[in-house]
Amino acid sequence: MAIALEKKIAALVGVVKAIHKELILTKMLHTKKTRRNQVAWNALSLKVATSWDCVTAVDEIVSQREKQW
């Protein structure tokens, strides 16, 4: 009886370890995806910032307020 119980516990431990491994891999994939998105947004913000270098933010806000739609 004790040997059968030990085998069942060993099998459960193996399953728990496999689930734990899958959770870690899933978190790593999510982190990589988040990092890629962050890099893409940073590149876009740099692109926008370089196109606005000649105009200050205050001047842009003033010009937006003065627009007649």
Q: Where are the alpha helices (DSSP H) in 1-69?
A: 2-51, 57-66
Q: What would you measure as the largest C-alpha separation in the chain, in angstroms?
A: 87
Taken as a whole, the chain contains a residue count of 69
Per domain, the residue ranges of the chain are 19-50
28, 36 Cβ separation under 8 angstroms = no
Q: What are phi and psi of 41, to 5 degrees?
A: -65, -40
Mean pLDDT (whole number) for 17-29: 92
Task: Express each pLDDT in 49-63 by its tens digit.
Answer: 787 767 777 888 888
60, 52 Cβ separation under 8 angstroms = yes
What is residue 29's predicted lDDT score, i.e. its pLDDT? Answer: 86
